[in-house]
A and B are shown apart, each in its own frame.
Chain A
Amino acid sequence: MFIFEGVQPGNLSPEHMQEHMGKWMAWIDKLRKANKYVAGEPLLPGGKLVSGPNGKSVTDGPYTEGKEVVGGFFIINAKDIDEAVELSKDCPDLGHGSKVQVRQVMKVEVGQPA
């Protein structure tokens, strides 16, 4: 799984946004053609942070403006973490203050101990 952490771009011009989106689509297209892409969703900014017993505390967050936010995730097919890391290096957000968290999804067979 790729988890995208980044700073919400504030001052992009419309032209840049379109260009940037094009890069994302090209990247997903490439992953899809190589049968590496399974699914992905963008996340809306904002959200709530629930904590405490029975969810006593509900606050806006977990982030404040300008700080790093999780912008979305991909689930990809990779044979191991090394391949996943290689695949993540094409992410168009990299180099603009953003990071990709690469995590392995734990495969748990039902009925058997993990």
Chain B
Amino acid sequence: MDQNKNINQLVDHLFRHESGKMIAVLSRLLGLQNIEVAQDIVQDTLLQAMSTWGYKAVPDNPAGWLYRVAKNKAIDFLRREKRFHKISPEYGYLLESEYTLSSTVNNLFLENEIQDSQLRMMFACCHPSIAEESQIALTLKTLCGLSVNEISKAFLTTDETIAKRIYRAKEKIKTEKIELQVPQSYELSSRVDTVLKSLYLLFNEGYKSSNSDKLIREDLCEEAMRLCFLVTQHSLTAFPRSKALLTLMCFQASRLDARLDDKNNIILLKYQDRSKWNRSLMSKGFELMEEAAEPFEVSTYHLEAAIASQHAAARSFEQTNWKNIYHLYEMLYQLQPNPVVAMNKAIASAYAINKQNALNELQQIKGLENHHLYYASIGEIYFDLENKPEAKKFYQKALDLTSSAYEQQLLKSKINNC
């Protein structure tokens, strides 16, 4: 160990990310039914690192150190538990013999096997029999190393609610006898869709504005991207739509820094300082978009990514190609005819066609009666049509419906301008 090595040389979130990797690997080794044992081993390993690295120094290969300790703890556990077949359906026969025990454990900690385990864990956490909200909570707990408290903060809910979601997910793992497998060919496509959907929701949860801790929300976006990247790296799951989702995330994330002002107020797209958009994420987005184009498939992620790319390509709000955007929304609406898409399409039409068209489209939408953005959009159009009394009325309706402090602030300033 190098005495001069200090904490600053540790990668951000090292413990969190390694915890996710080790839980995935150990659950594969011990069987997913023993996920709690895997979690305990990882917790012990990290505690051991915390109390020894603090005194000495960070080892040259921190992840390697963690893996070695976790491996030994796992081997101890396996030697104590002799019912190998019950423990690990995949490796039981190899774990029975001292001869193959260590090498089997060692092999699982090789880089490509770690990625494989993480992918399997993603499929397990996003098993269709588990409710969506529980899928996300379990993913964050097991794959991203977030604590129940960190998750509940990000979701603006209580620890109890999150603990319940995780508990329900684990119950499903038991009752459905879910194991860590990559799904069979006939169900692979739909299972990948469930994973992508869950990652999409996770990203949105982090992206949507709200008054909770900004940092932890950006972490959610980062975690969603990290996992989505893994999906795109595996030959079995690197569908064009997986890449399209990652493209979308890159474009959206590139605007994270420009989205809030110093006082955490939302800055609308129209007024954002585009020089604050993250160039490297944007170019990553354009690069991925090309990759997502082959083999040909059109998913909602493709269309959303294409819309986001139109914004990224525009030098200013005025120079945005709204005709393209409107057209893309029309295609998206065909694939996904829901009122939120209809609302976005209507807003795009305000710039692509005219304000009156946007107002007509908005007024025809059914099902957004409790959605503050719906009323805010109508208010915005009335404001642009210079009908201030109507604008004020709709801004007020929106204000009554939102619980986000940021958005309340924004709407109040709009009402004052009417």
Contact = CB atoms under 8 A, between A and B. Distances in A.
B55 interface: yes
Interface stretch (A20-28, A58-66, A103-111): A20-28
Contacts of B50: 12, 17-18, 20-21
A28 B141 CA distance: 32
Interface string B346-376: 0000000000000000000000000000000
B145 A14 contact: yes
A14 B16 contact: yes
Contacts of B16: 13-15, 18
B49 interface: yes
B12 to A, nearest CB: 9
A86 B145 CA distance: 37
A28 to B, nearest CB: 7
A15 B150 contact: yes
Q: How many of chain B's residues touch chain A, expressed as a range? A: 20 to 34
B47 A24 contact: no
Contact of B19 (A14, A22, A25, A71): A14
B53 A14 contact: no
Interface of A is mostly: helix
Nearest to A20: B50
Contact of A14 (B15, B51, B55): B15
Contacts of A26: 6-7
Q: How many of chain A's residues touch chain B, expressed as a range? A: 20 to 34
Contacts of B389: none
A29 interface: yes
B334 interface: no
A40 B19 CA distance: 27
B57 to A, nearest CB: 8
Given A40-B55, A41-B55, A72-B51, A15 B6 contact: no
A42 interface: yes
Nearest to A9: B47
B149 interface: yes
B10 interface: yes
Interface of A: 8-9, 11-18, 20-22, 24-26, 28-29, 40-42, 71-72
4 tightest CB-CB pairs across the interface, nearest first?
A: A13-B147, A24-B54, A14-B15, A18-B15
8 contacts: A11-B147, A14-B19, A20-B54, A21-B7, A21-B54, A24-B54, A42-B55, A72-B55
